[in-house]
Amino acid sequence: MSKKKKTRIELRKNRSKPPRDKGWTSGFQTHGYHDEATLANERVRAKGDLSRKRTIVQDETAGDESMPAVASSECIPGRVLRVHGLSSVVEAENGRQFRCAVRRLLKNLATDERSIVATGDRVWIRPSLNDEGFIERVEPRHGVLTRASRGREHVLVANVDQVVIVMSLAEPAFKPHLVDRYLASAAQGGLAAIVCLNKADLVDPVEFQPAVGLYSQLGIRTLLTSSKTGLGIERLHKLLKDRQTVFSGQSGVGKSSLLNVIQPELGLHVREVSEVTEKGRHTTTTAELLKLEGGGWVVDTPGIRQFALWDIRPEEVEGFFIEFHPYVPLCAFPDCTHTHEEPCAVKAAVQKRQISDQRYMSYLGLFTGRMEEIREE
């Protein structure tokens, strides 16, 4: 029998600043009111209205003190297949699907996340009538793909093993710096990465062999694919078998097309790339967990038009570039940033072409923040 305990948790504040009466300043300037003027450190509103807390009952063995305990006799476990605004589709262990709202307590938790529930989450739900219910608890996550969105954390998918970074070689053009940013995010989230260079039928593949060689030398599985000719599809299918995988990339790179070739029964909607802008049109509108025949799950995500890393400090960036690791101990300064210091073993390796110029430029962009957001151009 699990032990219960009471825990004090932080909730979102009602307001970031206390409200003021309209026209107070103009009235003060006109009539004075010096005796009624508030002091600079005087509290205008009760503290409880700004800082909100609540006591909940927590299972000591659960591992997440922000989540309430649930009664196993009233709730059932499940997994979020997709999120639609305020509701989520959750599949129970017996295969039954429920459309669930999120319990109000969970929505009010003080968190940096854009949404408390993400595709792939393992949750506990309280079923109600007509295949509906309420999400009462979200279990701790592993294997997440996340990004920064308007100052908050946007978890694209949770509880997956690997990410297939889909990049087109044409229409839209190949963006190697975006690949490097995805690789950093995959390392941060504990995901294995596969670089999938799609639409190989539109280019001469020989021109992109240096890119294939670069990532392959870093130990990253890299393959050329084409949903039109079938190039690389069989190999990609084998990499998905019995794994939980998220497909991510820009709009129009062919994520849904690849999945349709791998398993036609999915019937995912696809659209052509704009001939004028060479940008993809958003077809997939929400991340969705899909079951593959023969074993495995995949998540088809909406196209990303900007991808900023979440909660990365500059001094952590070098850890995401594995080719830097042999040279970092050789730098003259233990806190070398590899940007302006001399001598610097990493910069020397770049000059000797032992480290790719492209990868080094990606490092500088992440370190300095000048590439904090990569957008489609």
pLDDT at 13: 60
Q: What is the arithmetic mean of pLDDT over 206-216?
A: 94
Same domain (yes/no): 217, 360: no
Same domain (yes/no): 16, 120: yes
Count: domains in the chain = 3
**What's the chain's average pLDDT?**
82
Same domain (yes/no): 106, 239: no
Average the pLDDT over each of 90-94, 167-171, 286-290, 355-359 and give the range with the smallest value: 286-290
Higher pLDDT: 20 or 69? It is 69
For 256, the domain range is 145-300
**Banded model confidence at residue 301, pLDDT cuts 50, 70, 90:** confident
* CATH (domain of 166): 3.40.50.300
Residue at 356 is within a domain: yes
Same domain (yes/no): 104, 229: no
The owner of tokens 């209205």 is: 49
% of residues, the chain, pLDDT over 90: 52
Higher pLDDT: 78 or 9? It is 78
Cα separation, 334 vs 51, in Å, equals 42
pLDDT at 361: 94
153: pLDDT strictly greater than 90: no
**Banded model confidence at residue 152, pLDDT cuts 50, 70, 90:** confident
Higher pLDDT: 306 or 119? It is 119
Residue at 48 is within a domain: no
Same domain (yes/no): 238, 99: no
Average the pLDDT over each of 110-119, 144-153, 233-242 and give the range with the smallest value: 110-119
Selection from 34-48, 314-328, 362-376 with the highest mean pLDDT: 314-328
Same domain (yes/no): 171, 243: yes
Same domain (yes/no): 150, 278: yes
359: pLDDT strictly greater than 70: yes
The owner of tokens 């509880």 is: 159
Residue at 52 is within a domain: no
Domain limit, last residue, from 275, 300, 325: 300
pLDDT at 168: 94
**Banded model confidence at residue 101, pLDDT cuts 50, 70, 90:** very high
Domain limit, last residue, from 140, 170, 204: 140
Sign of the Cα torsion 234, 280, 168, 248 reads negative
Domain limit, last residue, from 112, 140, 168: 140
Same domain (yes/no): 98, 126: yes
Residue at 55 is within a domain: no
Same domain (yes/no): 112, 242: no
Same domain (yes/no): 285, 348: no
Q: How far is CA 111 from CA 42, 52, 153, 161, 282, in A?
A: 28, 13, 9, 25, 29
Residue at 25 is within a domain: no
The owner of tokens 């052509």 is: 272
3: pLDDT strictly greater than 70: no
Q: How far is CA 168 from CA 192, 227, 280, 297, in A?
A: 20, 11, 11, 23
pLDDT at 36: 52
Same domain (yes/no): 125, 83: yes
Same domain (yes/no): 336, 364: yes
Cα 2 to chain center, whole Å?
33
The reply to whether the predicted model has a pTM over 0.85 is: no
pLDDT at 148: 84
238: pLDDT strictly greater than 90: yes
Residue at 32 is within a domain: no
180: pLDDT strictly greater than 70: yes
* CATH (domain of 6): 2.40.50.140
pLDDT at 7: 61
* CATH (domain of 333): 1.10.40.50
Residue at 279 is within a domain: yes
Residue at 119 is within a domain: yes
